[in-house]
Amino acid sequence: MTTLSFNTKYPSVEDLRSRAKKRIPKFAFEYLDGGCNEDVNLYKNTAEIREVELLPQYLSKHTASSMKTTLFGHEYDAPFGMAPVGLQGLMWPNAPEILAKAASTHNVPFILSTVTTSSIERIGELTEGKAWFQLYHPAKNELRDDILLRCEKAGYDTLVILCDVPTFGFRPRDIRNGLAMPPTMSIKNILQILGKPNWALQTLKHGQPNFETLKPYMPKNLDLKQLGKFMDDTFSGRLNEEKIKPIRDMWKGKLVLKGVANELDAERAINLGLDGIIVSNHGGRQLDAGESTIKPLSRIAKKYGDQIEVMMDSGIRSGPDIARSLASGAKFTFMGRSFMYGVAALGNKGGDHTISLLKTQLQQVMEQICCEKVEDFKNHLID
Ligand SMILES: Cc1cc2nc3c(=O)[nH]c(=O)nc-3n(C[C@H](O)[C@H](O)[C@H](O)COP(=O)(O)O)c2cc1C
């Protein structure tokens, strides 16, 4: 066996998840781990990816397998990246910086969320302009324009807009824990913090997590209730074609629509001149009665894969899951929770560990089935 480049105590994302659960307060873990309503969509995402089977071709000629993938003119070292996650600093202090740096070192994309705890400028600097930015749609055009200008100045060339948050997902754990909007900080949460001294110490060291990108627009010293109102007033989640058109006109870089879950929206994205779509159901956090992502992915990739870059997230937890998604038609894949489990479990080493782990697993699958290039995965799909 080749030397493994990750901590061998945690050879799976599930190992990272278990350690994360022990290390961080319950309200933070449940915010990360949960889906919505009864978690049906959350479980279906991974379960239905795992129904996809791959065909090995053992006697085929094989020289070497390479994970390198060119997307939007950039050659990445692997066909996966980090999906945007809000409030990352709540789960582990400094998480966006740790993950962005690891992504940049490994030459894979990191997508910064509008509502996470690091700023456009800081992540732009850490990744030398290689990160992507995910915009929550601002209610006011001036705010939208200002954020886009900041992205441009900080060197971002890929902008991701989001269509699957027209409402707040109904998440019973977050409601119970007071993390809904407006949030509350209860005695129960404080006791949970005291039970996780390492997390508490690190949080104290780095300071209370803030919405760093939004800070310039927020009134000072908001209490939690006012914060909820600010968020409600500032963003209008329901995206439509009228809101996308001016962004397309204004944004000179690549424009990606995330949250696509059916053929009609994929076709609209193409007609609006977008460069890519991420087939996603927000990791099962929005519509419990919806399909898992692997199903629309196959249909959309078959129909539109030659007209727009079709990417996918939701439910991927391993190298074989990435392989199954690529074989089903995804050009590129993203993960949200897997990387956050990594950083919550292993702190500063979590980003590097999780990328190395997934790369090792994916490389093994490629060599096992005799797949030399990422675009050849589809030849191994058992339809
Ligand atoms: C805790 C958490 C917060 C998230 N916050 C955002 C966000 O701010 N913006 C966004 O576009 N997607 C957000 N997502 C969705 C992810 O970008 C991604 O679609 C999802 O995590 C993929 O599913 P996976 O976690 O099973 O990999 C969030 C997901 C989680 C788990």
Minimal-distance CA residue to ligand 1 atom 20: 283
Q: What is the amino acid identity at position 127?
A: T
Q: Is 283 in the pocket of ligand 1 (CB under 6 A)?
A: yes
Instruction: Give, in order, the Cα–Cα distances in Å from 254 to each of 211, 228, 238, 273, 335.
Output: 25, 31, 21, 10, 20
Q: Which amino acid is at 264?
A: L
pLDDT for 102 beyond 60:
yes
Judge whether residue 1 has pLDDT over 60. Answer: no
CA of 174 to the centre of ligand 1 (A): 15
Helix or strand run (H / E) with residue 80 = strand 80-82
pLDDT digits (tens, 9 = 90+) for 46-89: 999 999 999 999 999 999 999 999 999 999 999 999 999 999 99
CA of 197 to the centre of ligand 1 (A): 27
Instruction: Please say if the pLDDT value at position 93 is more than 80.
Output: yes
pLDDT of residue 2: 66
- For ligand 1, whether the C-beta of 106 sits within 6 Å is no
- What confidence tens digit (pLDDT) does each residue in 280-337 have? 999 999 999 999 999 999 999 999 999 999 999 999 999 999 999 999 999 999 999 9
Query: What angle (nearest 5°) sits at the alpha carbon of residue 268, between those of residues 262 and 273?
Result: 130
What is the distance in A from the centroid of ligand 1 to the CA of 42? 12
Which residue in the list 106, 137, 282, 380 is annotated as catalytic?
282
Q: Is 282 a catalytic residue?
A: yes
Ligand 1 atom index nearest CA of 160 = 11
Which of 24, 27, 36, 85 for a ligand 1 pocket mutation test, highest count of atoms within 8 Å of Cβ?
A: 85
Pocket of ligand 1 contains residue 115 by CB under 6 Å? yes
The dihedral sign for the CA sequence 135, 139, 143, 144: positive
> Rg for the chain (alpha carbons), in Å?
20
- Average pLDDT (142-170) is 97
Taking residues 165-180, report their average pLDDT. Answer: 90
**Where do the H-state alpha helices sit in 154-276?**
172-177, 187-194, 197-206, 224-234, 241-250, 263-271
Ligand 1 and 300: CB distance under 6 A: no
Q: pLDDT tens, 334-371?
A: 999 999 999 999 999 999 999 999 999 999 999 999 99
